[in-house]
Amino acid sequence: MISRKRVLVTGGAGFIGSHLCERLLAQGHQVLCVDNYFTGTRDNISHLLPNPLFEAMRHDVTFPLYVEVDEIYNLACPASPVHYQFDPVQTTKTSISGALNMLGLAKRVKAKVLQASTSEVYGDPEVHPQTEDYRGSVNPLGPRACYDEGKRCAETLFFDYRRQHNVRIKVVRIFNTYGPRMHPNDGRVVSNFIVQALQGDPITIYGEGTQTRSFCFVDDLVEGLMRLMDTPDDVTGPVNIGNPHEITVRELAERVIAMCGTGTQLEKRPLPQDDPTRRCPDITLARRLLDWEPTVPLEAGLRRTIDYFDARLRDSAS
């Protein structure tokens, strides 16, 4: 029998956070979901509100939080360019002040704390696939730096808190993730393509669409997060969590069009500044330390995501 823990999930009303809250509740844990609802929504967690083990709190992690918990998953931060570039100074504050506040809380209550870092710390990588010891190729002055460098600094803070205060930390670097509850206007490639295809609009690709991504279904990602949290204290990460199967953006667009059954066309636009040309994780470490690898095939995950957006668009039209 799993002992019941008190678990804090910051960004818990977001895309990934809401799925994590759901899984933790299914295991019988008490869950405190904290979110300022900048990109998260109450719709994502409305089905969890009747559960007596679930509590939702509106709070911004750039301010301290005083609660009693056993574990902290720090997911709070806008994660798509259209959202994190909306207020880049606030994005940097969320990454850095949010990390400081969650580390301070973990230190006070002696909780384990997991930082949701990102593959963006690798920038436009010169090493392929990306391993955890690669230090990245990041432009600190570009429009993506508020997120890239904010997350890099957060990792620094986590390891310094471990060295200086012996805080029990876990750091995961999340690669492209998709699934139900993605924000329909977040500018991410999967949600963009699906919404455009379902509405019969042209699908926008940047450049020739030859840049590659690797897409991990949200259920697989959440499993990886929870497995890392459950590792012994000497396992800190960083650990890549993502799908090592690469696909070009153009291939993804063509697959979505076929699955949606629409006759939409591709519309090319210029590449955004600092957009990485290749992005693919080396998950050797995750396989070894966590016995983890993705299990949901792209087609199955896309089908569930398409069905979600289809239902959502029908509801908004009625």
Residue 194 to residue 196: CA distance in whole angstroms: 5
Contact 313, 198 (CB under 8 A): yes
Residue 123 to residue 119: CA distance in whole angstroms: 8
Structure tokens at 19: 């799925």
Report CA-CA distances (Å) from 250 to 155, 195, 296: 33, 16, 21
- Residues 225, 57, 31, 171, Cα dihedral to 10°: 20
Contact 30, 5 (CB under 8 A): yes
What is the set of active-site residues? 147
To which H or E segment does residue 114 belong? strand 112-118
- Our CA angle for 114, 119, 120, nearest 5°, is 110
